[in-house]
Amino acid sequence: MPYMPTNDLIIERDGPVAILTMNCPDNKNAFSDELHLAMQEVWNHLAMDQEVRAIVLTGAGSAFSAGGNVPNFIRSYESLQFRRDAMRGAQRLLNAMLECHKPIIAAVNGPAVGLGCSVATSCDIVLIADNTFMSDPHVDIGLVAGDGGAIQWPLFMSILKAKYYLLTGERIPAKECVELGLANFAVPAAELMDRAVGLAKKLAAKPQQALEETKRAVNLHLQQAALLVGPFACAAEQESFSTDDIRRTIESFTK
pLDDT tens track for 196-234: 999 999 999 999 999 999 999 999 999 999 999 988 998
pLDDT tens figures, 117-171: 999 999 999 999 999 999 999 999 899 998 778 999 999 999 999 999 999 999 9
- Torsions phi, psi of 105, nearest 5? -110, 125
pLDDT tens figures, 171-182: 999 999 999 999
Domain annotation covers residue 231: no
Task: Please state, in angstroms and rounded to a whole number, the distance separating the CA atoms of residues 136 and 141.
Answer: 10
Task: Please state, in angstroms and rounded to a whole number, the distance separating the CA atoms of residues 162 and 230.
Answer: 16
Domain annotation covers residue 84: yes
Higher pLDDT, 2 or 231: 231
Concatenated DSSP letters of 172-225: EEHHHHHHHTS-SEEE-GGGHHHHHHHHHHHHHTS-HHHHHHHHHHHHHHHHHH
Query: 249 pLDDT band (50/70/90 cuts)?
Result: confident
Domain annotation covers residue 123: yes
Average pLDDT (28-49) is 95
pLDDT tens figures, 94-103: 999 999 999 9
Domain annotation covers residue 239: no
Domain annotation covers residue 251: no
Q: Is the predicted pLDDT of residue 1 greater than 70, yes or no?
A: no
SS3 call for 113: strand
Domain annotation covers residue 69: yes
Task: Calculate the alpha carbon distances from 75 to 46, 197, 250 in Å.
Answer: 31, 37, 10
Domain annotation covers residue 250: no
pTM: 0.94
Question: What's the structural domain count of the chain?
Answer: 1
Residue 27's domain is classified under what CATH number?
3.90.226.10
- Torsions phi, psi of 27, nearest 5? -115, 30
Average pLDDT (70-88) is 84
Beta carbons of 9 and 20 less than 8 angstroms apart: yes
Domain annotation covers residue 142: yes
Residue 109 structural domain: 9-191
**What letter represents residue 67's amino acid?**
G
Give the relative orientation of helices 208-240 and 149-156 as an angle to the nearest 10 degrees.
130
